[in-house]
Amino acid sequence: MAQQSIVTKDRTNDPEKIRNIGIIAHIDAGKTTTTERILFYTGRSYKIGNIDAGDTQMDWMEQERERGITIVSAATTTFWRDVRINIIDTPGHVDFTAEVERSLRVLDGAVMVFDAEEGVQAQSETVWRQADKYNVSRVVFINKIDKLGADFEKTLEQIRTRFAVQAIPLVYPIGVESSFKGVVDIITQKAFLWDKDEKGTEYTITEIPDELKDIIAKYRAEIVEAAAEADDALLEKFLAGEELSAEEIKKGVRAATIAYKIVPVYTGTSLRNKGVQPVLDGVVDYLPSPKDLGQISGKNPKTGEEVLRKLTKDDPLTALAFKIQLDPHVGKLTYARIYSGILKAGSYVYNVTEGQRERVGRILLMHANQREEIDSAYAGEIVGLIGPKNTGTGDTLVDEAHQIVLEEISFPDPVISMAIEPKTKSDQEKLSTVLQRLSDEDPTFQVKVDHETGQTIISGMGELHLEILVDRMKREMGMDVNVGKPQVAYRETISKTAEAEGKYIRQSGGRGQYGHCFLRLEPRGRGEGFEFVNAIKGGAIPSEFIPSVQKGVIEAMEKGVLLGYPMTDMKVTLYDGTFHDVDSSDMAFKIAGSIGLQEGSKKAGLTLLEPIMKVEVTIPEEFMGTVIGDLSSRRGRVQGTEKHGNSVVITGLAPLSELSGYVTTIRSLTQGRGNPYMEPAHYEEVPQNVLAKLKSVRI
């Protein structure tokens, strides 16, 4: 576990010597603190950053330091044992889930941090599922093992049962809570005690304490078996009863981790500077390098056929822009992961998604909000690009002669919105520019103008998300705004199948307008979205007018029919129609499609959907009855309760419309000791009595 000094010229273009990792976790599990320790022990920073002191390297925004939370994912580069580690520290708060989503899309591995007392929490499950979605290999760090109520075995068991994974400890804690002093490395069977200095840079290597020998032997047998199963040669040796060496075990564990057959588990306390170096060794030893992943697949933009790219500098350039940041000093900064090839400063790339060339003026290595300029970037690197003007989140950048389009990044829909207006009329134009800049940066932040009221409506993932964005407008962009009360993002849908005719015929002397179509509307399952099917046979409507009907249908769905909310979860089939040789036009068929959708919806059992939130509240046991009663009064359904030491964790589902000010309510009901957490779960039909009330308000 030797410390490595950092020299920029040591930048390697050998993919085997690179690890692209993220630090992911539930809010308050200790992600940023762990990242700060990693930077300190690898020599990237010479002072340990502390969240409470507001001097962390990775949480550099003013709002992050004030609130003690991570808002934007920050990228940095450091070295450990001659291996370059590109780290992205992601937010834990669900309102900034887009930051986690886009980071995991471009990472090869992750360190998942858990709180040893709280165990597996709601957001832990969300980010674990996000990592599963992108096949990201991970190691686990059970943090805060020195905390009152910390329980290594219980947290390990929770990880195994909740995620159905083979989580295997590679280290075991020596002592727990205030008596925690070090860990046993189970493979090498040595104990590491952090007993030399407060900063934890030095430690004593000694023998395993006698009282832990049995449990270490049990876990070592698990590790050896898992390692042997991942490698045929090792399995043969294992079955023959031969002893595997430490190096052979590590080789097997690495193969099993990359194949996601096992998840190595570490433990320690980042805040007390104990147990972080073994995690760094785990990142180097077990998480995949770009070379281990071998290749990435995409599609040929012209033919739609699958294209494979090897993750080496010898294949043509392929990169994915995964984050846009508007920097006050350099302007638009595009974060990109280089999957294959070499990107040189001053060269041109082709944005396949947008279908245009972009110039890359400068390439930067990022360290939070500091940067270092480099001449070229190689396969496996994560860099900042200055120059591309029209590149957005999820765009593929390639060598124009060898085109491939990578899978885009998908983001959840916003669940809450509010109206905003500038404090002075003269700032109206400036507001549009500011909102455009913010929505370029954040794909879950949406802006639209309500044409009936003329109001500007902003939508996001939660009240905190919108609050931070309004705060950023004021601080970073000098834009003072008035804000309305947050509104829930309802959706409209249909509950039965119906057919309707859309007809738009206008005769006015000269050339008229003629559009005529028949639509079938069918409900789809929750979350399945909208599907348009062209079932026209025999040229009843010429093919050039079909997209116009679809456009009209989509526009009508966006405006809504019942209460003016966007429609979703329905299938619309265009099955018949007629046209006029002279009078038919795109506009006429677009209007016909819109009329058909509105008429059909009225016959198809229109209903309203509302966002349902998953709620998790950690409270002292004596307040359990009060909190459950309060949740029930908000149309909430309690799904379960679980005891954690002296606390109880209540999980349930409740409509977002009933949860306004919920955090404040829980704090006052529990004398400030309750800790609520919410995240969007799904959409559900609104009860009839609530729908009637909403209708009366709209009237």
pLDDT tens digits for 324-369? 887 767 778 898 999 999 999 999 999 999 999 999 999 988 765 5
The pLDDT score that the predictor gives to residue 71 is 40
Residues 172 and 36 occupy one common structural domain: yes
Query: Which of 11-15, 127-131, 185-189, 592-596 has the lowest average pLDDT?
Result: 11-15
The Cα–Cα gap between 397 and 405 comes to: 8
Residues 110 and 25 occupy one common structural domain: yes
Domain containing residue 261: CATH number: 3.40.50.300
The pLDDT score that the predictor gives to residue 12 is 55
Q: DSSP readout, 448-494?
A: EEETTTTEEEEEESSHHHHHHHHHHHHHHH---EEE---EE--EEEE
411 lies in some domain: no
Q: What mean pLDDT comes out for the span 649-667? A: 88
Query: Among the three residues 292, 322, 347, which one is the final residue of a domain in this structure?
Result: 292
Residue 101, phi then psi, degrees to nearest 5? -55, -50
pLDDT band at 70 (very low <50, low <70, confident <90, very high): very low
Query: Which of 69-83, 434-448, 482-496, 585-599 has the lowest average pLDDT?
Result: 69-83
Q: Which tokens hold the place of 150?
A: 């910390």
Query: Which of 87-96, 252-261, 516-525, 690-699 has the lowest average pLDDT?
Result: 87-96
pLDDT tens digits for 164-182? 999 999 999 999 889 999 9
For the entire predicted model, the pTM comes to 0.74
The yes-or-no verdict on residue 528 having pLDDT over 50 is: yes
409 lies in some domain: no
Query: Which of 38-52, 560-574, 610-624 has the lowest average pLDDT?
Result: 38-52
Comparison of pLDDT for 569 and 484, the residue scoring more: 569
Q: What mean pLDDT comes out for the span 55-66? A: 44
Size (the chain), residues: 699
Q: What mean pLDDT comes out for the span 5-20? A: 64
pLDDT band at 462 (very low <50, low <70, confident <90, very high): confident
The pLDDT score that the predictor gives to residue 452 is 60
566 lies in some domain: yes
The yes-or-no verdict on residue 60 having pLDDT over 60 is: no
Residues 350 and 455 occupy one common structural domain: no
- SS3 of 572-640: the string is EEEEEEECCCCCCCHHHHHHHHHHHHHHHHHHCCEEEEEEEEEEEEEEEHHHHHHHHHHHHHCCCEEEE
Instruction: Give the count of alpha carbons within 13 A of 124, CB side only.
Output: 23
The Cα–Cα gap between 667 and 675 comes to: 7
Amino acid in the structure at residue 674: G
Amino acid in the structure at residue 360: V
Residues 637 and 560 occupy one common structural domain: no
The domain total for the chain is: 5
Three-state DSSP class for 16? Answer: helix
The yes-or-no verdict on residue 469 having pLDDT over 60 is: yes
The pLDDT score that the predictor gives to residue 73 is 47
Domain containing residue 671: CATH number: 3.30.70.240
Residues 45 and 100 occupy one common structural domain: yes
The alpha carbon dihedral of 262, 268, 271, 276 has a sign of negative
Query: Among the three residues 363, 398, 433, which one is the final residue of a domain in this structure?
Result: 398
359 lies in some domain: yes
Residue with tokens 């200790």: 30
406 lies in some domain: no
Residue with tokens 């991942």: 230
Three-state DSSP class for 105? Answer: helix
pLDDT above 70 covers a percentage of the chain that reads 90
pLDDT tens digits for 197-238? 888 888 999 999 999 999 999 999 999 999 999 888 899 988
pLDDT band at 191 (very low <50, low <70, confident <90, very high): very high
Residues 237 and 93 occupy one common structural domain: yes
The alpha carbon dihedral of 338, 340, 345, 348 has a sign of negative
Q: What mean pLDDT comes out for the span 275-284? A: 95
Helical pair 624-633 and 662-669, crossing angle rounded to 10 deg? 150
Q: What mean pLDDT comes out for the span 245-262? A: 94
Residues 89 and 186 occupy one common structural domain: yes
The yes-or-no verdict on residue 288 having pLDDT over 60 is: yes
Dmax of the chain from CA atoms? 101
The Cα–Cα gap between 554 and 560 comes to: 10
410 lies in some domain: no
The pLDDT score that the predictor gives to residue 578 is 94
The yes-or-no verdict on residue 663 having pLDDT over 90 is: no
124 lies in some domain: yes
Residues 215 and 231 occupy one common structural domain: yes
The yes-or-no verdict on residue 635 having pLDDT over 90 is: yes
Buried b (16+ CB within 10 A) or exposed e, 583-596: ebbeebbbbbbbbb
Degrees (nearest 5) of the Cα angle 343, 36, 374? 20
Residues 394 and 245 occupy one common structural domain: no
| C-alpha 53, offset from chain centre | 28
Determine the structural domain holding residue 661 and report its residue range.
608-698
Residues 434 and 502 occupy one common structural domain: no
The Cα–Cα gap between 385 and 331 comes to: 11
The Cα–Cα gap between 283 and 278 comes to: 9
Three-state DSSP class for 660? Answer: coil
Residues 422 and 352 occupy one common structural domain: no
| Mean pLDDT, the chain, integer | 86
Buried b (16+ CB within 10 A) or exposed e, 639-652: eeeeebeebbbbbb
Comparison of pLDDT for 15 and 312, the residue scoring more: 312
pLDDT tens digits for 294-317? 889 999 998 889 999 999 889 999
Comparison of pLDDT for 618 and 331, the residue scoring more: 618
The Cα–Cα gap between 348 and 533 comes to: 39
pLDDT band at 520 (very low <50, low <70, confident <90, very high): very high
236 lies in some domain: yes
Judging by DSSP bridges, how do beta strands 356-359 and 348-351 pair with one another? antiparallel
Q: What are the angstrom distances between the C-alpha of 356 and each of 300, 359, 394, 398?
A: 16, 10, 15, 11
Query: Among the three residues 427, 456, 484, which one is the final residue of a domain in this structure?
Result: 484
The alpha carbon dihedral of 398, 385, 32, 20 has a sign of positive
Residues 665 and 591 occupy one common structural domain: no
The alpha carbon dihedral of 548, 553, 558, 561 has a sign of positive
**Of the candidates 9, 15, 5, the residue with the CA atom closest to the CA atom of residue 379:** 15
